[in-house]
Amino acid sequence: MYAVFAAIVKSTMERVDGSHAAVPIEMMTYGRGGLGGSGGLCGALNGAAAAIGLYCPSHEQGALVRTLVRWFQSESLPVFVSPDSDPSHLTPPSVSASSDCHVSLAQWKEAAGGGVTRDQRSERCRRLSADAAAKAVELLNGLVGDDGSRCP
């Protein structure tokens, strides 16, 4: 949650005024591990939805968040691979069919043939966070009109 929210907010604020100090990014750490480690809502989704809520008028938020959730549940993820990724930690993407952290992880473990390591799981979450941040930004950018008046 923190990774996605921080990536979007920091890049946006630095582009706008060079600072992100006014946004309490640290508050997003509660979303780690599916809401405080409970395995509930995936933190990547939660952070992306929070960023949408920060930048969009309330009447636009619901549609964007629903689009984000449908994307997350239906796409084979993660897609992003960092040039710094350790090839031994990369596993195949999978379709979660859920926004729940535990369900998403179970689907991924099955696609990977089980027996995944902690490092592979961490790498998957990093990659999934990058994908969710990119999708949220794509959705936000789609709301910006030619005059830039709807969302930053």
Residue 150 counted as domain residue: no
Q: Is residue 148 part of a domain?
A: no
Structure tokens at 115: 């027996």
Mean pLDDT along residues 4-24: 80
Q: How confident is the model at residue 150 (pLDDT cuts 50, 70, 90)?
A: low
Q: Is the pLDDT of residue 147 over 50?
A: no
Share of residues in the chain with pLDDT > 70 (%): 90
| Average pLDDT of span 23-47 | 89
Per the structure, the complete domain to which residue 80 belongs is given by 2-143
- List helix spans (H) across the chain: 2-16, 43-55, 58-74, 101-111, 118-143
Domains of the chain: total: 1
Is position 31 within any domain?
yes
